[in-house]
Chains A and B, each alone.
Chain A
Amino acid sequence: MPEFRNEADKIYRCLFEKTVPDDVAERYSQVIERIERIYPDDVRDVRKCIEQCKDLEALEIYARHTGKLPLLSAKFKIMVFLAETLPENYGQYINERDRVFLAYILLGTSVIRTAFKFIRGAIAIRVLRQ
């Protein structure tokens, strides 16, 4: 069981609503200490956030836009890159059919969803601080 499996699972679920595959968890665990070394001041807070926060995606978008916890966004990015290499995720990354109408609808709702997540993130960070 890789050391960072739970963390990997939380981030993966956030992105893809699925359990993290073993390979990805393993690869994530192997690299994650390297990124933690770049942001040593964030390590404790970010680990705590990942462990405790119910809506990690909300926290991440809020942190990204307010310049807080860059380590959290870096961990998300790493997961995005690692997950892309699996054939089972191909469809999550590559648009294989023309879906113009659906795309516009999804992009429109994405903006609204992001705004909502941002507000939730602002609240979540306050709760975590207390």
Chain B
Amino acid sequence: MIHDVIIVGSGATGIASALGFSESGIVPLMLDVGKVPAKRSGIDGNFYDHRKKNDSFNLMIGPEYEGLYNILNNTSLPPKLTAPEMSFVTEDNAELSRTREEGFTAMQSFARGGLANAWGAGLYRCVSDELKDMPLSVEELAPYYEMLTQEVGISGDSDDLASFFGSVDGLLPPLNLSLKAERLYSKYHKKRDGLNKNGVYAGRPRLGVLSRNHGGRRAYMYQNNDMWLSDTPFLYTPAMTLQKLIDKQAVNYESGILVQRWSGDQGEITVYGRRLSDGIEVEYKCRNLVLAAGTINSSKIVLRSRSDFSTELPLIDNPLVQLPLLFPSFVGKKLETAAAGMTNLNVIFNFPEQRLQGSVIELTSPARSVFYEMFPLAARDNLRCMKFLSTSVLVLFLYFESNRENLSSVRLREDSVLTLKSKAYSFNRKLISRAAKAMRKMGALTSSRIARYSAPGYAIHYAGTLPMKEVPEGPYECDKYGRLNMEEGVYISDGSLFSYIPAKNISFTLMANSMRIANYISKRIRRS
């Protein structure tokens, strides 16, 4: 059987692609490794109420000691990825994709729904000046942004950030602010003129978290359990759309398949993979192949198909700095157990040199133990700090745009190991100082001296390996519809296409672009 379309991957971009095809009535075959959660804790209700009454070892640490992953492996994964119920997101990574990391830490996922199972769901549109160097305009993305806004259910507001975050059409009301975030936001409003003059703007985030019931899903109840559970209806994940598409028979989903390469002959593409249950090699035939396996894995499949073991493809990510924000009047206050433990506010630093995006994150979701090691005191004193000081801290995730100075690379070795190389990112420290100063004006105690500089790869916004160009050159560039140069019918549909990423969580734009490409392929199929 020859399929019209095969999509590889069920992450945010693969699902957006399938959604795009479903608009045109085309039913693609989706090939995926597709790991699913093995266990569910079944807690329903507030994380803290649960903990007061129950031994939470299985929920917080897990029988395989997943909750201690960072200590046991000397790493610093985001806490959500170490929650036992989330372990399926990164399950078997080491076996399924062997990597050699030389300065670049790559996060991959072979889960049904991909990395987005663990995302913060900050879903932002790009504005015109953020798509620079790309043969793509905001106008072209607009209809897909709109459809996705409906599908996902995005909370947000029409505020000072609307000019940076694009149209507010279809947004649900914003979520409630935590007490500290409220304090910060009211200080911002008091000092707004001065801050705006310096290019600093604050407002509500665009989150794929429901502030109201939407599309048959329940609204967020401020229970701080989303970090620990893999099936929270209020926090959108692509796996939800996948299930809907499967139910409507708008996609044929086949999991347990690791795609390795393709070969093409006169418009007929053969996709080669391995069935993971028995290790048997399998083949599928199609006329259009859409690679949405995530930047790193799509690049691997392309290099492998070309048997190219020498080319180093460029790899970009957002350099990221974490700035703790202390609110002295909250020291010793009781922990706000019913706050939204996620991004509460965004701050845009529209500096003349470059624009930075800050996400102000409330820290009520993770285990308190995460904070224990952040203090420099003796063990029992650290426990006190953890208890009394962690209630007074927010953290600002400060994203920088990708730039040529901080270029990393990916290369496939003959033994199938991917080498990911990067030197330590260089940061413009003056900008961090200016951002810290602005945050002080908004009432937070902070300084660029306590900033934590994240290692390359930590932002988990990978892109740039197979860039989209108006006129693609060479074998590793794509045209403006994602078609890989020198190939008939092979399309790239994920972050690989973006040669630049603005200082912004980029996944929503990757999804909109993926739908746009699906729409283009659909039209071509119809024409032929």
Q: Do these two chains interact?
A: yes
- A92-B51 Cα distance, complex, nearest whole Å: 13
Closest to A31 in B: B65
Q: B340-389: which residues lie under 8 A (CB-CB) from chain A? A: 367-369, 372-373, 376-381, 383-389
**CB-CB < 8 A to B387: which residues of A?**
92-95
Q: A64-114: which residues lie under 8 A (CB-CB) from chain B? A: 65, 73-74, 76-78, 80-82, 84-87, 90, 92-104, 106-107, 110-111, 113-114
Closest to B332 in A: A103
**CB-CB < 8 A to B386: which residues of A?**
93
Decide if A123 is an interface residue (CB 8 Å cutoff).
no
A110-B385 CB under 8 A given contacts A77-B373, A98-B334: yes
Are A35 and B332 touching (Cβ within 8 A)? Answer: no
Decide if A58 is an interface residue (CB 8 Å cutoff).
yes
CB distance from A4 to the nearest CB of B (A): 14
Q: Number of B interface residues, CB 8 Å?
A: 44
- A65-B337 Cα distance, complex, nearest whole Å: 33
Which of B68, B337, B379, B380 has the most chain A CB within a 10 Å cutoff?
A: B379
Which of A31, A35, A94 has the most chain B CB within a 10 Å cutoff?
A: A94
Q: Is the interface of A mostly helix, strand, loop or mixed?
A: helix
Q: Number of A interface residues, CB 8 Å?
A: 48
Are A57 and B68 touching (Cβ within 8 A)? Answer: no
Q: Which of B67, B376, B383 contacts A81 (CB 8 A)?
A: B67
Are A81 and B71 touching (Cβ within 8 A)? Answer: yes
**CB-CB < 8 A to B385: which residues of A?**
107, 110
CB distance from A90 to the nearest CB of B (A): 5
Decide if A15 is an interface residue (CB 8 Å cutoff).
yes
Which residues of B come within 8 Å of A, CB atoms? 48, 51-57, 59-61, 65, 67-68, 71-74, 329, 331-335, 337, 367-369, 372-373, 376-381, 383-389, 391
Lowest 6 CB-CB distances: which A-B pairs, in order?
A: A103-B332, A110-B381, A103-B388, A100-B332, A61-B378, A114-B377
Q: What are 13 A-to-B residue pairs whose CB atoms are below 8 Å? A: A14-B380, A23-B55, A23-B57, A27-B61, A76-B379, A81-B71, A86-B56, A90-B51, A92-B383, A92-B387, A100-B331, A103-B389, A110-B384
